[in-house]
Amino acid sequence: MIGEVQKQNKDKAVFEPIIVVEDLTMAFGDNVIQRDLTFTINRGDIFIVMGGSGCGKSTLMRNLIGLQRPARGKVFYDKESFWDIEESERERILRRIGVMYQGGALWSSMTLAENIMLIIQEYQKIDHDQALELASLKLALVGLAGFEDYYPSEISGGMKKRASIARAMALDPEILFLDEPSGGLDPISARMLDDLILQLKSSMGTTVVVITHELASIFSIGNDSVFLDTESKTIIASGNPKKLLEECDNDTVRRFLTRGASEPRIQAIGRA
């Protein structure tokens, strides 16, 4: 009986929507980037937004985090229509969100600890020592304990990515948006970053939305996804990336998910 209740609770958590997008159209003037996007991100997901270069992945993220108003459609956070509420209410929702921007976007004139402390002290009424302690904790969570006094120019690309995630976690967000987190990294650094994302989901229950075109990351961390198509300018596939690899019969999606891989390797990924 207890086991059945635990299973029901687990199932409930997995399928509890935290972000719902309905009929979203993104445009710059008359130039439509993507149209009629409808999908759901469940609490605890590692949700992949994938597609070729220029398909609108980063633009979609900006629509979801309040940096760009969609041309049409709705974005709901726990049933609240994000773009239809007062700005003060949007700010309240944004406090639940952490963002790692493409390239990291760390302040080069600040140490890693200062980059994180800037956000903490902006929103929490605590003194310098308390803020430094929290910043050190965030850096330790991403494997950068002892690097508080380093500047971004003094660390590697992979470490910069992890420091950017630490900054995104400064206010203990429920939802993390990561824009191309493993882009430009060597395979070992990229795998370490993927492992970090999985740890954050497992240990903190964080919902993670990952904007990426990196196949290794897509298959190793994603449990749900949407594929944005450049030609048709809409979603042409959605679901667990491994399932899409096995079952999707759309040629565009298949080519994207199998690029550079041999058939035995493709089959091994699908079974993993």
Beta bridge partners of 207: 175
Number of domains in the chain: 1
Higher pLDDT, 83 or 184: 83
Which whole number is the average pLDDT over 116-133? 93
- Whether the pLDDT of residue 7 is over 80: the answer is no
> Which range of residues forms the domain containing residue 60?
25-79+97-103+111-271
Question: Residue 60 corresponds to which tokens in the numbers above?
Answer: 């979609």
Question: How confident is the prediction for the chain on average, in pLDDT?
Answer: 89
The CATH number assigned to the domain holding 58 equals 3.40.50.300
The neighbour count for residue 212, using CB atoms within 10 Å, is: 23
Is 177 contained in some domain?
A: yes
Predicted confidence at residue 260, as pLDDT, reads: 60
Instruction: Give the pLDDT band of residue 8 (cuts 50, 70, 90).
Output: very low
Is 227 contained in some domain?
A: yes
List the beta strands (DSSP E) in the chain: 17-28, 31-42, 46-50, 72-77, 80-81, 97-100, 175-179, 207-211, 224-229, 234-238
Which whole number is the average pLDDT over 75-94? 95
Please name the residues in contact with 40: beta carbons below 8 A apart, sequence gap of 6 or more. 17, 19, 20, 21
Is 53 contained in some domain?
A: yes
Is 117 contained in some domain?
A: yes
Of 99, 72, 90, 96, give the one whose Cα is nearest residue 211.
99
pLDDT tens, position by position, 210-237: 999 999 999 999 999 999 999 999 999 9
Q: Residues of the chain with pLDDT > 70: what percent?
A: 90
pLDDT tens, position by position, 53-83: 889 999 999 999 999 999 999 999 999 999 9
Predicted confidence at residue 5, as pLDDT, reads: 41
pLDDT tens, position by position, 14-36: 579 999 999 999 999 999 999 99
The answer to whether residues 133 and 142 touch, using CB atoms and an 8 Å cutoff, is: no
Instruction: Give the pLDDT band of residue 272 (cuts 50, 70, 90).
Output: low
The single-letter DSSP state of residue 152 is: G
Q: What are phi and psi of 108, to 5 degrees?
A: -70, -25
The neighbour count for residue 52, using CB atoms within 10 Å, is: 16
- Whether the pLDDT of residue 47 is over 60: the answer is yes
Q: What are phi and psi of 136, to 5 degrees?
A: -65, -35
Is 255 contained in some domain?
A: yes
Is 201 contained in some domain?
A: yes
Lowest mean pLDDT among 70-79, 245-254, 260-269: 260-269
Per DSSP, the three-state class of 48 is: strand
Question: Residue 218 corresponds to which tokens in the numbers above?
Answer: 């897509």
Q: What are phi and psi of 244, to 5 degrees?
A: -65, -40
Tell me the C-alpha distance between 140 and 97, whole Å.
20
- Whether the pLDDT of residue 9 is over 60: the answer is no
Tell me the C-alpha distance between 247 and 217, whole Å.
19
- Whether the pLDDT of residue 244 is over 60: the answer is yes
Predicted confidence at residue 203, as pLDDT, reads: 85
